[in-house]
Amino acid sequence: MAAITITRNIALATSTPPTFSRPSVAYLTSGQQVAAGQPRFETIAGRMGLWVEERTTNEVANPSFEIDLTGWRARFNSGTLSRLSAGGFVGSSFMRWVAADTSDFRGPLTSAYFTVNPNETITVSAWVKGSGKGTLAILDATGQVVGGDGGGWLSSLGALDIPSAWTRWALTWTNNTGLVKYVYIHISQWVTPSPATIDVDGVQFERKGYATTYVDTSRAAETLTIPTAGVLNPQQGTIELSLQMLNLHNWNDILTGALNSGRFDFFTDASGAVHWDFGLSNSGPISASGVLSVGPWYVVALVWSAPSLTVYVNGSQVATNNSYDPSVGLPTNFGLNTGWDGDADCNIDFLRISSRARTASEIAAVASAYLNNGTPPVDADTTYYLGFDGAITLGGGVRFLPPA
């Protein structure tokens, strides 16, 4: 019997590439500044991905010591506070405090206080290095004047070895005192066998339950918009993406799009459960908690095939239900960080969209290969592929094939 050869004529189309926005500067985790509008690519655990991080405001008045030491003082006027203009973590300069003796609770603190309302949660962070033992503390300034030495610590990281290379310390505190509190940020010597030297740079005060990347004043939210007109098959399809969560909260809106009726929203919550709405809010499949946690890379697959919606994480099915209605249609744009009530806050390594519902075994094979440092293939059923390997433009890892 003669072999039958089927030739499918695949036209490589030029599609509109994704767009990225962030109308402010930001910093890489190395401390290097990235200009406004430029995406941040970070390689973590051998994977280069694109950061899509939430907005923040750093309320510290002089957080990087590039000009002087305005706004900072040595607690109890003890030890020596100076500014060094080479070797800073952020920019070129940093602050150094050298202890005069081994007394605890000495070290630099902000002159100005921050107001924290009852039940409010804050996070303070600082890049530090030096020698001896020390800690990062939230110091009670209530009743104190600006420039005072404060009272007791409301919270601290406990006694830590001060690292020899720049390391970030971060401390989250919720004001459960029932009172308005006024607080200083204090980087302190503590239980030292010998006097400490503490170098400080990139100090941050955020009204959040976690630290985000450092910024001098304010960072706007980063967004990624993926045009999907002609890319999605309403009958069935698959979206696979690799994620590293930067934090988990209510809610991380990871992949969102408007529908003619209701919403397409793939999101996570503070417990690490994943949710996928198609239509009404909370209509879609929801996994158990703990499916995602902060730090590791995951491969997530979203599969639609009327009437089911199914979510896989690392090749295992974690949630499914029958809420998919193909007559509604699919979004013409997907956004990261463009959702209704949350921030994506993730690093994304790849995204692959396919024109059919890939099987559980295919999805498991892709996840397994990925977790062994592979990447998913761009095959005949792939309608869109983003590699996020240093660029998001066409030719930088983007490939587009219209559905067959």
Which residue ranges make up the site for Ca ion (CB under 5 A)?
A: 48, 64, 88, 90-91, 93, 201, 349, 387-389
Closest CB 93 distance from Ca ion, rounded Å = 5
Amino acid in the structure at residue 285: P
Cβ distance to Ca ion smaller for residue 279 or 397 = 397
Nearer to Ca ion, 205 or 388 (CB): 388
CB of 28 to Ca ion, least distance (A): 15
Q: Cα–Cα distance between 87 and 91 in angstroms, integer?
A: 8
Q: How far is the CB of 167 from Ca ion (least distance, A)?
A: 15
Which of 363, 354, 119 lies closest to 235 in space, CA to CA? 354
Minimum distance between the CB of residue 242 and Ca ion, rounded to whole angstroms?
8
Burial of residue 245 (number of CB atoms within 10 Å: 0-12, 13-18, 19+): buried
Output 63 or 132, the one with its CB closest to Ca ion: 63
- β-bridge pairing 133-140 and 223-227: unpaired
Residue whose token pair is 């405001």: 57
CB closer to Ca ion out of 173 and 388:
388
Q: Which lies closer to Ca ion via its Cβ, residue 94 or residue 251? A: 94
- Complex with Ca ion: residue 93 or 228, whichever CB lies closer: 93
CB of 241 to Ca ion, least distance (A): 11
Judged by beta carbon, residue 63 or residue 339, the one nearer Ca ion is: 63
Q: What's the closest the beta carbon of residue 171 comes to Ca ion, in angstroms?
A: 20
Nearer to Ca ion, 141 or 348 (CB): 348
d(CA 9, CA 7): 6
Supply the minimum distance, in Å, between the C-beta of residue 317 and Ca ion: 25
Tokens standing for residue 395:
């030719």
Residues 26-43 as b or e (16 or more Cβ within 10 Å = b): bbeeebeebeeeebbbee
Give min distance, CB of 91 to Ca ion, in A: 4
> From the CB of 318, what's the least distance to Ca ion, in Å?
23
Distance CA 194, CA 101 (A): 8
State the minimum distance, in angstroms, from the CB of residue 217 to Ca ion. Answer: 14
* Closer residue to Ca ion, CB minimum distance, 90 or 398: 90
Residue with tokens 């099987």: 359
> Which residue, 299 or 318, is less far from Ca ion as judged by CB?
299
Q: Do 42 and 222 meet the contact criterion of CB atoms below 8 Å apart?
A: no
